[in-house]
Amino acid sequence: MKAWRAGRVLFGLVLLLPALALGQAAASDPASGDEGAVVESLLARMTLEEKLGQLTQSRGRGSDTGPRVPEGGEAQIRAGQIGSFLGVYGADYSRQMQQVAVEESRLGIPLLFAHDVIHGFRTTFPVPLAEAASFDLEAVENAARIAAVEATAHGLHWTFAPMVDIARDPRWGRIVEGAGEDPYLGSRMAEARVRGFQGTDLTAPDTLLATAKHFVAYGGAEGGRDYNTVDVSERTLHEVYLPPFKAAVAAGVQSIMPAFNEVAGVPMHAHRPLIETLLREQWGFDGVLVSDYNAVQELMQHGVAATRTDAAILGLEAGVDIDMVSGIYLEDVAEAVRDGRLDEALVDASVRRVLRAKYRLGLFDDPYRYSDPAREAAMTLTPAHREAARELARKSFVLLKNDGDTLPLSKRLRTVAVIGPLADDRRQMLGNWAAAGRPEDAVTPLDGIRAALGPDVRVLHAQGAEIDGDDVSGLDEAVRIARQADAVILMLGEDQEMSAEANNRTTLDLPDVQEELAQAVQATGKPVVAVLFGGRPLSVNWLHDNVPSILMAWFPGVEAGNALADVLFGDHAPSGKLPVTFPRNVGQVPIHYNHKNTGRPPDAEDKYTSKYLDVHWTPLYPFGHGLTYTRFRYDDLRVKTPRIGRGEAVDVEVTVTNAGGRAGDEVVQLYLRDDVASFTRPVKELRGFQRVTLQPGESRTLRFRLEPEAMALLDADLRPVVEPGTFTVFAGGSSAETSETTFEVVAD
């Protein structure tokens, strides 16, 4: 029996006796019970080097036979110098490496295998921003659950997801990885994804440790430039950027990753107040903090550490438990502990949290439970997984415009032209951070349209232009086939490498000559609809002014083409809503729906109010916007109790009617404004949403319950408080189209 197993039995008994004697079962104390017994008995046996090994994460490398540990990795495992790997997976291979750790190292501590499973493992789902556009928490949770099932079948224990950074600047490429600009939607999506990844029993072999990242305010990077300085007020930090992390912690997330950026002069990887004081002490987070890539060492670049050892000390003192790939804890800490510059108790605290994570996954009971080739073969890219990806992709599409009900197109058209650089590109459909997704698995828009229309409809295709670049030699061919068609579907947008990490743009326009392509095709006079792909809002003003229908498809994942055909030809209606504001141009940034009113809100009749000379102050498309193939009417918005006490909840009802001729899904949104308060409040804040399916003519009364925390603001000490006064409630299918009513909170 391995040392830690024997120790556990003996140590557990020893630990248990006093507790039994005292008649107290300190079950809530993480240092007690079986978990504590295993962790403490191991810790007591570990050398300093072995402890630092547990705090070290190494990066895998690609090979012809799949991801592998780096050169020398096995020897390091055997020497107890590595606690986890990034990017190493495979049922058989993970078993092999786990055997080296468990059977050949001195203490036999199991490894953790981690990877960026962001929006699917092999079955690629729509990118996270698209998933957020579905406003369907159940479907988003299911997508994370499927990702976990597939990732764990390949030996993975841990994903570096969900990314929960609020993003108000679409120049920032990583806006694609999160849930957009709203803290309430971001919090609900964070909870759903944590639940999906972690399941209800972490010891089950199909559950992953989830990681809420990047703590915190990463989306506030100046200029929308990744990794750049963040300087936000304490109030904005607590009102906008922290809530999704708090929601993830409340949902039981087991890991958090600090952000690369500083916040107001303190790099997050050295931010003890936000990590130890707020996250751990105040919020009670007892999981692991894993650094971002090389980020502890980058404290030197930040200019707060002169040496690697100084950087490592700052990281450990701040509570960053694991160093990702720089080797700084393994190589540059031991001497500082021995000469007293770093208290070994801090190392022990981090090691405890890492061992606890391994315990919670059940790896001390069975270190090989995630390395099951049979599961790997059976659970990957199944028809059910593909169907779930297709359904979520459909729900993520946002119909931005549909003049004259041009969409849905008829399946009885004789000839359809599919034109544009994103019409037939498998890799693009997967989006960025596609984990083990494979382009050959992806259904392109052209594939999907051909499959949906069958052999009797002629489907013509021309790329017309590249995604970027100034080559216009393809325009003539595009025009030629457009002229032969009864309808033209343009497939335009960004390359998936134009968003996500380090992929920032100073413009939100369609890249390069794509607008010229659209103009040339539109000039043929044929009916034209546009489908947009991208990882951020796009300022498609010309399309908005000249093309009757525009569908935002983001990057829809492995079932892209089938989901698009389902919606374009009406088998399903689009139902997504924008999780981010679409500006008219980048000059409006930052622009978001939950803005403050200011002392001079925009007024076209008054020069001296907050607006631009050259562009209307409103966005091209607002947060929460999204059309469908029918119309919904909102009636009878009412508050059940127009006056409530400060600690009371209030029920709001609204009746929604499908006033059109087709069934449809509506995401009914509820917003709230504190009309007069001690601190300025947003003109409205999302406080609830419900997705409802209504048949033509059908009405349904929906009820929302607003608990006191929905009405709270942060007082001067940043503590939540509900102030007496009137509140305005808004309900509608977009943040910009709502009916409203009021209620009053009366002083006790």
**Residues making contact with ligand GLC (CB under 6 A):** 86, 116, 160, 213, 292-293, 501
Contact 734, 669 (CB under 8 A): yes
Q: Angle at the Cα of 246 (from 209 to 742), degrees rounded to 5? A: 135
Q: Is 293 or 617 the residue whose CB approaches ligand GLC more closely?
A: 293
Q: Angle at the Cα of 124 (from 381 to 197), degrees rounded to 5? A: 90
Min dist CB 634 to ligand GLC, Å, is 40
Q: Is 116 or 723 the residue whose CB approaches ligand GLC more closely?
A: 116
Name the CA radius of gyration of the chain, rounded. Answer: 27
Min dist CB 116 to ligand GLC, Å, is 5
Min dist CB 502 to ligand GLC, Å, is 8
Give the whole-angstrom CA distance, residue 100 versus residue 110. Answer: 9
Output the six-digit token pair for 101: 């750790």
Contact 112, 358 (CB under 8 A): yes
The amino acid that residue 517 corresponds to is L
Min dist CB 267 to ligand GLC, Å, is 14
Q: Is 116 or 424 the residue whose CB approaches ligand GLC more closely?
A: 116
Give the whole-angstrom CA distance, residue 232 versus residue 222. Answer: 10
Min dist CB 293 to ligand GLC, Å, is 4
Q: Is 270 or 668 the residue whose CB approaches ligand GLC more closely?
A: 270
Q: Is 116 or 447 the residue whose CB approaches ligand GLC more closely?
A: 116
Give the whole-angstrom CA distance, residue 519 versus residue 684. Answer: 38
Output the six-digit token pair for 396: 């993520």
Min dist CB 120 to ligand GLC, Å, is 15
Give the whole-angstrom CA distance, residue 155 versus residue 589. Answer: 43
Q: Is 116 or 495 the residue whose CB approaches ligand GLC more closely?
A: 116
Which letter, b or e, does each residue of 676-713 get, where b requires 16 or more Cβ atoms within 10 Å of its Cβ?
Answer: ebeeebbbbbbbbbbbbebeeeeeeebebebebebbeb
Number of Cβ atoms within 10 Å of the Cβ of 329: 28
- 292 annotated active-site: yes
Q: Is 160 or 241 the residue whose CB approaches ligand GLC more closely?
A: 160
Tell the burial category of 668 from Cβ atoms under 10 Å away from its Cβ (0-12, 13-18, 19+): buried
Min dist CB 536 to ligand GLC, Å, is 17
Q: Is 54 or 261 the residue whose CB approaches ligand GLC more closely?
A: 261
Contact 323, 296 (CB under 8 A): yes
Q: Is 258 or 421 the residue whose CB approaches ligand GLC more closely?
A: 258
Paired strand residues for 290: 322
Dihedral angle of Cα 19, 21, 24, 25, to the nearest 10 degrees: 40
Instruction: State how far Cα 431 lies from the chain centre.
Output: 13
Q: Which residue do the tokens 């939540």 mark?
A: 720
Min dist CB 300 to ligand GLC, Å, is 17
Which letter, b or e, does each residue of 574-598 get, where b requires 16 or more Cβ atoms within 10 Å of its Cβ?
Answer: bbbbbbbbbbbbbebbebbbbeeee
DSSP per residue, 42-87: HHHH--HHHHHHHTEEEE-B--TTS-BPPTTHHHHHHTT--SEEES
Give the whole-angstrom CA distance, residue 321 versus residue 315. Answer: 8
Min dist CB 268 to ligand GLC, Å, is 12
Give the whole-angstrom CA distance, residue 721 versus residue 724. Answer: 10
- Beta strand spans in 494-545 (E): 528-533
Give the whole-angstrom CA distance, residue 219 versus residue 155. Answer: 32
Phi-psi region of 23 (alpha: psi -120 to 50; beta: other; left: phi over 0): left
Q: Angle at the Cα of 730 (from 171 to 658), degrees rounded to 5? A: 95
Q: Is 116 or 136 the residue whose CB approaches ligand GLC more closely?
A: 116
Min dist CB 434 to ligand GLC, Å, is 13
Give the whole-angstrom CA distance, residue 494 versus residue 471. Answer: 16
Contact 720, 646 (CB under 8 A): no
Number of Cβ atoms within 10 Å of the Cβ of 662: 15
Q: Is 326 or 539 the residue whose CB approaches ligand GLC more closely?
A: 326
Min dist CB 61 to ligand GLC, Å, is 13
The catalytic residue among 165, 206, 292, 425 is 292
Contacts of 62 (CB under 8 A, 6+ apart): 68
| Closest CB to ligand GLC: residue number | 160
Annotate 542-554 with three-state secondary structure. Answer: HHHHHCCEEEEEE
Min dist CB 328 to ligand GLC, Å, is 16
Q: Is 8 or 213 the residue whose CB approaches ligand GLC more closely?
A: 213
Residues with active-site annotation = 292
